[in-house]
Chains A and B, each alone.
Chain A
Protein backbone atom coordinates (compact mmCIF):
# COMPACT_ATOMS: atom_id res chain seq x y z
CA UNK A 1 0.00 0.00 0.00
CA UNK A 2 2.80 2.35 0.89
CA UNK A 3 4.25 1.92 -2.55
CA UNK A 4 1.23 3.62 -3.98
CA UNK A 5 0.39 6.19 -1.40
CA UNK A 6 3.33 7.39 0.60
CA UNK A 7 6.33 6.41 -1.50
CA UNK A 8 7.83 9.84 -2.20
CA UNK A 9 10.92 10.50 -0.11
CA UNK A 10 11.71 14.22 0.05
CA UNK A 11 15.20 15.17 -1.01
CA UNK A 12 17.36 17.40 -3.16
CA UNK A 13 19.33 14.82 -5.14
CA UNK A 14 19.90 15.20 -8.91
CA UNK A 15 17.24 12.50 -9.37
CA UNK A 16 14.74 14.53 -7.33
CA UNK A 17 15.47 17.61 -9.40
CA UNK A 18 15.32 15.87 -12.78
CA UNK A 19 12.18 16.73 -14.81
CA UNK A 20 9.53 13.99 -14.57
CA UNK A 21 9.35 13.56 -18.35
CA UNK A 22 13.11 12.90 -18.52
CA UNK A 23 12.83 10.41 -15.66
CA UNK A 24 10.02 8.49 -17.33
CA UNK A 25 11.80 8.47 -20.68
CA UNK A 26 15.03 7.27 -19.00
CA UNK A 27 13.05 4.54 -17.25
CA UNK A 28 11.65 3.35 -20.58
CA UNK A 29 15.15 3.34 -22.14
CA UNK A 30 16.68 1.49 -19.15
CA UNK A 31 13.93 -1.17 -19.12
CA UNK A 32 14.43 -1.73 -22.85
CA UNK A 33 18.20 -2.00 -22.31
CA UNK A 34 17.60 -4.60 -19.56
CA UNK A 35 15.77 -6.77 -22.08
CA UNK A 36 18.56 -6.41 -24.63
CA UNK A 37 21.53 -7.02 -22.29
CA UNK A 38 23.39 -10.11 -23.51
CA UNK A 39 24.77 -11.92 -20.46
CA UNK A 40 25.02 -12.19 -16.71
CA UNK A 41 28.10 -9.97 -16.52
CA UNK A 42 26.16 -7.11 -18.15
CA UNK A 43 23.25 -7.74 -15.78
CA UNK A 44 25.72 -7.45 -12.91
CA UNK A 45 26.84 -4.11 -14.30
CA UNK A 46 23.20 -2.98 -14.56
CA UNK A 47 22.67 -3.99 -10.93
CA UNK A 48 25.71 -1.94 -9.92
CA UNK A 49 24.43 1.09 -11.85
CA UNK A 50 20.97 0.73 -10.23
CA UNK A 51 22.54 0.48 -6.77
CA UNK A 52 24.62 3.56 -7.60
CA UNK A 53 21.49 5.49 -8.58
CA UNK A 54 19.90 4.56 -5.26
CA UNK A 55 22.97 5.85 -3.42
CA UNK A 56 22.84 9.11 -5.40
CA UNK A 57 19.11 9.51 -4.65
CA UNK A 58 19.68 9.19 -0.90
CA UNK A 59 16.27 7.60 -0.34
CA UNK A 60 17.66 5.09 2.16
CA UNK A 61 17.65 1.31 2.35
CA UNK A 62 14.29 1.00 4.14
CA UNK A 63 12.39 2.99 1.50
CA UNK A 64 14.12 1.07 -1.30
CA UNK A 65 13.34 -2.31 0.28
CA UNK A 66 9.70 -1.32 0.84
CA UNK A 67 9.40 -0.92 -2.93
CA UNK A 68 11.12 -4.19 -3.84
CA UNK A 69 9.58 -6.34 -1.08
CA UNK A 70 6.16 -6.85 -2.74
CA UNK A 71 7.76 -8.73 -5.68
CA UNK A 72 10.11 -10.90 -3.64
CA UNK A 73 7.98 -14.07 -3.65
CA UNK A 74 7.10 -13.62 -7.30
CA UNK A 75 10.84 -13.31 -8.07
CA UNK A 76 11.59 -16.48 -6.09
CA UNK A 77 8.80 -18.39 -7.88
CA UNK A 78 9.97 -17.11 -11.28
CA UNK A 79 13.57 -18.13 -10.53
CA UNK A 80 12.50 -21.60 -9.37
CA UNK A 81 10.30 -22.17 -12.41
CA UNK A 82 12.95 -20.98 -14.88
CA UNK A 83 15.60 -23.06 -13.10
CA UNK A 84 13.48 -26.14 -13.71
CA UNK A 85 12.59 -25.46 -17.34
CA UNK A 86 15.52 -23.42 -18.70
CA UNK A 87 18.51 -23.77 -16.41
CA UNK A 88 20.45 -21.49 -14.07
CA UNK A 89 21.72 -18.77 -16.48
CA UNK A 90 18.26 -18.07 -17.94
CA UNK A 91 16.64 -18.15 -14.50
CA UNK A 92 19.19 -15.68 -13.16
CA UNK A 93 18.83 -13.40 -16.21
CA UNK A 94 15.03 -13.28 -16.17
CA UNK A 95 14.77 -12.78 -12.41
CA UNK A 96 17.43 -10.07 -12.44
CA UNK A 97 15.63 -8.26 -15.26
CA UNK A 98 12.38 -8.26 -13.30
CA UNK A 99 13.91 -7.12 -10.02
CA UNK A 100 16.01 -4.40 -11.65
CA UNK A 101 13.06 -3.09 -13.69
CA UNK A 102 10.95 -2.88 -10.52
CA UNK A 103 13.85 -1.22 -8.66
CA UNK A 104 14.28 1.40 -11.40
CA UNK A 105 10.54 2.12 -11.57
CA UNK A 106 10.49 2.39 -7.76
CA UNK A 107 13.34 4.89 -7.92
CA UNK A 108 11.19 7.13 -10.12
CA UNK A 109 8.32 6.81 -7.63
CA UNK A 110 10.55 7.48 -4.64
CA UNK A 111 12.02 10.67 -6.12
CA UNK A 112 8.87 12.11 -7.75
CA UNK A 113 5.93 13.81 -6.10
CA UNK A 114 2.56 12.39 -7.16
CA UNK A 115 1.43 15.88 -8.10
CA UNK A 116 4.44 16.33 -10.43
CA UNK A 117 3.75 12.94 -12.01
CA UNK A 118 0.09 13.86 -12.54
CA UNK A 119 0.97 17.29 -13.94
CA UNK A 120 3.27 15.59 -16.47
CA UNK A 121 0.54 13.12 -17.34
CA UNK A 122 -1.89 16.00 -17.80
CA UNK A 123 0.53 17.76 -20.14
CA UNK A 124 1.19 14.52 -22.01
CA UNK A 125 -2.52 13.95 -22.50
CA UNK A 126 -3.00 17.55 -23.65
CA UNK A 127 -3.29 16.72 -27.37
CA UNK A 128 -6.20 14.37 -26.59
CA UNK A 129 -8.21 17.46 -25.66
CA UNK A 130 -9.08 17.73 -29.37
CA UNK A 131 -10.74 14.30 -29.13
CA UNK A 132 -12.93 15.41 -26.24
CA UNK A 133 -10.72 13.96 -23.47
CA UNK A 134 -10.29 16.20 -20.42
CA UNK A 135 -6.67 15.64 -19.21
CA UNK A 136 -7.44 17.33 -15.88
CA UNK A 137 -10.27 14.89 -15.19
CA UNK A 138 -8.10 11.92 -16.10
CA UNK A 139 -5.28 12.99 -13.81
CA UNK A 140 -7.83 13.78 -11.08
CA UNK A 141 -9.22 10.27 -11.50
CA UNK A 142 -5.74 8.81 -11.03
CA UNK A 143 -4.98 10.93 -7.97
CA UNK A 144 -8.31 9.94 -6.41
CA UNK A 145 -7.56 6.29 -7.10
CA UNK A 146 -4.19 6.61 -5.37
CA UNK A 147 -5.71 8.49 -2.46
CA UNK A 148 -8.54 5.95 -2.07
CA UNK A 149 -6.19 3.02 -1.43
CA UNK A 150 -5.41 3.91 2.22
CA UNK A 151 -9.01 5.03 2.78
CA UNK A 152 -10.34 1.63 1.65
CA UNK A 153 -7.72 -0.14 3.76
CA UNK A 154 -8.83 1.87 6.82
CA UNK A 155 -12.50 1.10 6.09
CA UNK A 156 -11.72 -2.63 5.79
CA UNK A 157 -9.83 -2.56 9.10
CA UNK A 158 -12.74 -0.78 10.78
CA UNK A 159 -15.28 -3.30 9.46
CA UNK A 160 -13.04 -6.22 10.51
CA UNK A 161 -12.66 -4.78 14.02
CA UNK A 162 -16.41 -4.23 14.32
CA UNK A 163 -16.93 -7.88 13.29
CA UNK A 164 -14.45 -9.15 15.86
CA UNK A 165 -15.95 -6.92 18.59
CA UNK A 166 -19.26 -8.68 17.96
CA UNK A 167 -17.65 -12.12 18.12
CA UNK A 168 -17.68 -12.86 14.38
CA UNK A 169 -14.25 -14.20 13.42
CA UNK A 170 -14.90 -14.51 9.70
CA UNK A 171 -17.94 -14.05 7.50
CA UNK A 172 -17.65 -12.88 3.90
CA UNK A 173 -21.15 -11.38 3.92
CA UNK A 174 -20.66 -9.61 7.25
CA UNK A 175 -17.42 -8.18 5.88
CA UNK A 176 -18.43 -7.31 2.32
CA UNK A 177 -21.81 -5.65 2.95
CA UNK A 178 -20.67 -2.95 5.43
CA UNK A 179 -17.47 -2.44 3.44
CA UNK A 180 -19.39 -1.78 0.22
CA UNK A 181 -21.87 0.48 2.04
CA UNK A 182 -19.01 2.43 3.67
CA UNK A 183 -17.19 2.69 0.32
CA UNK A 184 -20.31 4.06 -1.38
CA UNK A 185 -20.82 6.56 1.45
CA UNK A 186 -17.20 7.63 1.14
CA UNK A 187 -17.64 8.04 -2.63
CA UNK A 188 -20.70 10.25 -2.05
CA UNK A 189 -18.86 12.35 0.53
CA UNK A 190 -15.82 12.65 -1.73
CA UNK A 191 -17.98 13.77 -4.65
CA UNK A 192 -19.58 16.40 -2.45
CA UNK A 193 -16.19 17.54 -1.17
CA UNK A 194 -14.88 17.88 -4.73
CA UNK A 195 -17.91 19.96 -5.63
CA UNK A 196 -17.31 22.11 -2.56
CA UNK A 197 -13.73 22.69 -3.77
CA UNK A 198 -15.10 23.97 -7.06
CA UNK A 199 -14.08 20.92 -9.11
CA UNK A 200 -17.44 20.13 -10.63
CA UNK A 201 -17.51 22.73 -13.37
Chain B
Protein backbone atom coordinates (compact mmCIF):
# COMPACT_ATOMS: atom_id res chain seq x y z
CA UNK B 1 0.00 0.00 0.00
CA UNK B 2 1.40 3.39 -1.03
CA UNK B 3 -0.08 6.77 -0.12
CA UNK B 4 0.92 10.15 -1.51
CA UNK B 5 -0.47 13.22 0.28
CA UNK B 6 -0.16 16.59 -1.52
CA UNK B 7 3.25 15.65 -2.91
CA UNK B 8 5.28 18.31 -4.70
CA UNK B 9 8.71 17.67 -6.20
CA UNK B 10 10.77 20.57 -7.44
CA UNK B 11 14.07 19.95 -9.24
CA UNK B 12 16.01 23.15 -9.81
CA UNK B 13 13.56 25.64 -11.29
CA UNK B 14 11.16 22.96 -12.49
CA UNK B 15 8.05 21.63 -10.73
CA UNK B 16 8.20 17.94 -11.62
CA UNK B 17 5.22 16.85 -9.51
CA UNK B 18 2.49 19.29 -8.43
CA UNK B 19 0.26 18.36 -5.52
CA UNK B 20 -0.27 14.64 -6.08
CA UNK B 21 -2.65 12.97 -3.63
CA UNK B 22 -3.40 9.33 -4.31
CA UNK B 23 -3.72 5.97 -2.55
CA UNK B 24 -2.44 2.89 -4.37
CA UNK B 25 -3.76 -0.35 -2.84
CA UNK B 26 -4.33 -2.30 -6.09
CA UNK B 27 -2.16 -5.28 -7.10
CA UNK B 28 -1.30 -4.10 -10.60
CA UNK B 29 -0.92 -0.38 -11.23
CA UNK B 30 0.36 1.27 -14.40
CA UNK B 31 1.65 4.82 -14.78
CA UNK B 32 1.71 6.37 -18.26
CA UNK B 33 2.52 9.85 -19.48
CA UNK B 34 4.58 11.86 -21.92
CA UNK B 35 8.34 12.33 -21.52
CA UNK B 36 8.94 14.80 -18.72
CA UNK B 37 5.47 14.33 -17.22
CA UNK B 38 6.97 13.28 -13.87
CA UNK B 39 6.22 9.56 -13.95
CA UNK B 40 9.81 8.36 -13.34
CA UNK B 41 10.16 10.82 -10.44
CA UNK B 42 6.89 9.49 -9.05
CA UNK B 43 8.22 5.91 -9.30
CA UNK B 44 11.40 6.93 -7.44
CA UNK B 45 9.26 8.32 -4.62
CA UNK B 46 7.84 4.84 -4.05
CA UNK B 47 11.06 3.38 -2.66
CA UNK B 48 12.68 6.48 -1.29
CA UNK B 49 15.11 7.07 -4.15
CA UNK B 50 13.56 10.53 -4.53
CA UNK B 51 12.10 12.63 -1.74
CA UNK B 52 9.15 15.01 -1.97
CA UNK B 53 9.92 18.71 -1.71
CA UNK B 54 6.68 18.95 0.28
CA UNK B 55 3.92 16.52 1.21
CA UNK B 56 4.37 12.95 2.42
CA UNK B 57 4.89 9.58 0.82
CA UNK B 58 3.92 6.59 2.98
CA UNK B 59 4.96 3.12 1.85
CA UNK B 60 3.84 0.03 3.78
CA UNK B 61 3.10 2.30 6.71
CA UNK B 62 6.49 4.06 6.75
CA UNK B 63 7.22 7.66 5.81
CA UNK B 64 9.93 7.60 3.11
CA UNK B 65 11.66 10.62 4.67
CA UNK B 66 12.28 8.82 7.95
CA UNK B 67 12.63 5.20 6.89
CA UNK B 68 14.06 5.25 3.35
CA UNK B 69 16.58 2.43 3.96
CA UNK B 70 13.94 0.18 5.52
CA UNK B 71 11.52 0.89 2.67
CA UNK B 72 14.16 0.11 0.04
CA UNK B 73 14.62 -3.32 1.59
CA UNK B 74 10.89 -3.99 1.17
CA UNK B 75 10.33 -2.33 -2.21
CA UNK B 76 12.21 -3.65 -5.26
CA UNK B 77 13.04 -1.28 -8.09
CA UNK B 78 13.81 -2.21 -11.69
CA UNK B 79 15.44 0.49 -13.83
CA UNK B 80 15.23 1.04 -17.58
CA UNK B 81 18.93 0.39 -18.20
CA UNK B 82 20.02 -2.97 -16.78
CA UNK B 83 23.71 -2.14 -17.28
CA UNK B 84 23.53 0.29 -14.39
CA UNK B 85 22.08 -2.37 -12.10
CA UNK B 86 24.50 -5.22 -12.66
CA UNK B 87 27.36 -4.98 -10.20
CA UNK B 88 29.06 -8.38 -10.27
CA UNK B 89 31.00 -10.01 -13.12
CA UNK B 90 28.89 -13.15 -13.59
CA UNK B 91 25.14 -13.76 -13.71
CA UNK B 92 24.82 -15.97 -10.60
CA UNK B 93 27.17 -13.75 -8.61
CA UNK B 94 25.09 -10.68 -9.39
CA UNK B 95 21.89 -12.31 -8.16
CA UNK B 96 23.70 -13.64 -5.06
CA UNK B 97 25.06 -10.14 -4.40
CA UNK B 98 21.54 -8.95 -3.56
CA UNK B 99 21.46 -11.45 -0.69
CA UNK B 100 24.90 -10.59 0.64
CA UNK B 101 23.78 -8.45 3.53
CA UNK B 102 21.18 -10.98 4.61
CA UNK B 103 23.91 -13.31 5.90
CA UNK B 104 22.08 -16.41 4.67
CA UNK B 105 23.83 -19.81 4.70
CA UNK B 106 25.70 -20.49 1.43
CA UNK B 107 23.36 -23.37 0.57
CA UNK B 108 20.28 -21.17 0.94
CA UNK B 109 21.86 -18.47 -1.27
CA UNK B 110 22.66 -21.06 -3.96
CA UNK B 111 19.13 -22.48 -3.76
CA UNK B 112 17.45 -19.09 -4.07
CA UNK B 113 19.76 -17.95 -6.89
CA UNK B 114 19.30 -21.18 -8.86
CA UNK B 115 15.52 -21.05 -8.43
CA UNK B 116 15.13 -17.47 -9.66
CA UNK B 117 17.53 -17.96 -12.60
CA UNK B 118 15.71 -21.13 -13.64
CA UNK B 119 12.36 -19.33 -13.42
CA UNK B 120 13.49 -16.69 -15.93
CA UNK B 121 15.47 -18.99 -18.23
CA UNK B 122 18.91 -17.79 -17.19
CA UNK B 123 20.10 -20.95 -15.42
CA UNK B 124 22.18 -21.90 -18.46
CA UNK B 125 24.02 -18.57 -18.15
CA UNK B 126 24.73 -18.72 -14.41
CA UNK B 127 28.51 -18.66 -14.80
CA UNK B 128 28.61 -16.42 -17.89
CA UNK B 129 29.99 -12.87 -17.74
CA UNK B 130 26.96 -10.61 -17.20
CA UNK B 131 28.21 -7.99 -19.68
CA UNK B 132 28.11 -10.55 -22.48
CA UNK B 133 24.33 -11.12 -22.17
CA UNK B 134 21.92 -9.57 -24.67
CA UNK B 135 19.97 -6.47 -23.61
CA UNK B 136 16.88 -8.57 -22.92
CA UNK B 137 18.78 -11.13 -20.89
CA UNK B 138 20.40 -8.33 -18.89
CA UNK B 139 16.98 -6.93 -18.04
CA UNK B 140 15.83 -10.40 -16.94
CA UNK B 141 18.98 -10.68 -14.83
CA UNK B 142 18.23 -7.30 -13.23
CA UNK B 143 14.70 -8.56 -12.53
CA UNK B 144 16.11 -11.77 -10.97
CA UNK B 145 18.45 -9.70 -8.77
CA UNK B 146 15.45 -7.78 -7.45
CA UNK B 147 13.06 -10.74 -7.12
CA UNK B 148 15.54 -12.92 -5.22
CA UNK B 149 14.99 -10.52 -2.30
CA UNK B 150 11.25 -11.30 -2.40
CA UNK B 151 10.15 -7.66 -2.14
CA UNK B 152 6.63 -6.82 -0.97
CA UNK B 153 6.23 -4.23 -3.74
CA UNK B 154 8.00 -4.09 -7.11
CA UNK B 155 8.37 -0.79 -8.97
CA UNK B 156 9.47 -0.97 -12.61
CA UNK B 157 10.59 2.13 -14.49
CA UNK B 158 10.10 1.54 -18.23
CA UNK B 159 11.30 -2.07 -18.02
CA UNK B 160 10.72 -2.89 -21.69
CA UNK B 161 12.05 0.27 -23.36
CA UNK B 162 15.35 -1.35 -24.40
CA UNK B 163 13.91 -4.79 -25.17
CA UNK B 164 12.87 -6.51 -28.39
CA UNK B 165 9.36 -7.92 -28.77
CA UNK B 166 10.28 -11.40 -27.52
CA UNK B 167 11.98 -10.15 -24.38
CA UNK B 168 9.20 -7.59 -23.78
CA UNK B 169 6.77 -10.51 -23.83
CA UNK B 170 8.94 -12.42 -21.39
CA UNK B 171 8.91 -9.47 -18.99
CA UNK B 172 5.13 -9.06 -19.45
CA UNK B 173 4.57 -12.76 -18.70
CA UNK B 174 6.86 -12.59 -15.67
CA UNK B 175 5.01 -9.54 -14.44
CA UNK B 176 1.59 -11.24 -14.61
CA UNK B 177 2.74 -14.09 -12.39
CA UNK B 178 4.45 -12.03 -9.69
CA UNK B 179 2.75 -12.44 -6.31
CA UNK B 180 3.50 -8.94 -4.98
CA UNK B 181 2.05 -5.52 -5.74
CA UNK B 182 3.60 -4.25 -8.98
CA UNK B 183 3.74 -0.66 -10.19
CA UNK B 184 4.91 -0.18 -13.77
CA UNK B 185 5.87 3.14 -15.35
CA UNK B 186 5.85 2.64 -19.10
CA UNK B 187 5.32 3.92 -22.63
CA UNK B 188 4.62 0.33 -23.65
CA UNK B 189 0.83 0.55 -23.34
CA UNK B 190 0.02 -3.12 -24.17
CA UNK B 191 2.08 -4.03 -21.10
CA UNK B 192 -0.71 -2.53 -18.98
CA UNK B 193 -3.43 -4.83 -20.40
CA UNK B 194 -5.30 -6.50 -17.57
CA UNK B 195 -3.98 -4.09 -14.94
CA UNK B 196 -6.27 -3.08 -12.09
CA UNK B 197 -5.62 0.62 -12.42
CA UNK B 198 -3.72 3.08 -14.63
CA UNK B 199 -2.69 6.63 -13.76
CA UNK B 200 -1.89 9.13 -16.51
CA UNK B 201 0.44 12.00 -15.66
CA UNK B 202 0.80 15.26 -17.54
CA UNK B 203 3.00 18.15 -16.44
CA UNK B 204 3.30 16.78 -12.93
CA UNK B 205 -0.41 16.15 -12.32
CA UNK B 206 -2.63 13.08 -12.51
CA UNK B 207 -4.97 13.80 -15.40
CA UNK B 208 -6.59 10.38 -15.67
CA UNK B 209 -7.06 7.58 -13.17
CA UNK B 210 -9.08 4.45 -13.82
CA UNK B 211 -9.15 1.16 -15.69
CA UNK B 212 -6.58 0.69 -18.47
CA UNK B 213 -9.33 1.21 -21.07
CA UNK B 214 -10.54 4.57 -19.80
CA UNK B 215 -7.22 6.00 -18.60
CA UNK B 216 -5.26 5.03 -21.69
CA UNK B 217 -8.08 6.31 -23.90
CA UNK B 218 -7.60 9.68 -22.22
CA UNK B 219 -3.82 9.40 -22.68
CA UNK B 220 -4.18 8.68 -26.41
CA UNK B 221 -6.41 11.76 -26.81
CA UNK B 222 -3.86 13.81 -24.88
CA UNK B 223 -1.07 12.68 -27.20
CA UNK B 224 -3.09 13.17 -30.42
Contact = CB atoms under 8 A, between A and B. Distances in A.
Interface of A: 5-6, 8, 10, 113-115, 136, 140, 143-144, 146-147, 150-151, 154, 186, 189-190, 192-201
A8 B77 CA distance: 29
Contacts of A151: 83, 131
B72 interface: yes
A154 B133 CA distance: 13
Given A196-B47, A201-B69, A144 B87 contact: yes
> A-B pairs with the 5 shortest C-beta distances?
A6-B129, A189-B84, A201-B69, A196-B77, A150-B131
Interface residues of B, number: 33
B96 interface: yes
B87 A200 contact: no
Nearest to A150: B131
A200 B100 CA distance: 13
Interface string B127-156: 111111000000000000110010000000
B49 A195 contact: yes
B96 A115 contact: yes
Contacts of A198: 69, 72-73, 101, 149
17 contacts: A5-B129, A115-B93, A115-B96, A115-B97, A136-B101, A147-B89, A189-B79, A189-B81, A190-B84, A190-B87, A192-B84, A193-B77, A193-B85, A195-B72, A196-B49, A197-B97, A198-B72
Contact of A6 (B83, B96, B132): B132
A147 B86 contact: yes
B90 interface: yes
B98 interface: yes
Contacts of A200: 69, 72
Interface string B55-91: 0000000000000010011001101010111111110
A182 to B, nearest CB: 11
Contacts of A201: 69, 72
Nearest to A188: B84
Interface in B102-133: 127-132
A12 to B, nearest CB: 12
A5 B129 CA distance: 7
Contacts of A6: 89-90, 128-129, 131-132
B40 to A, nearest CB: 11
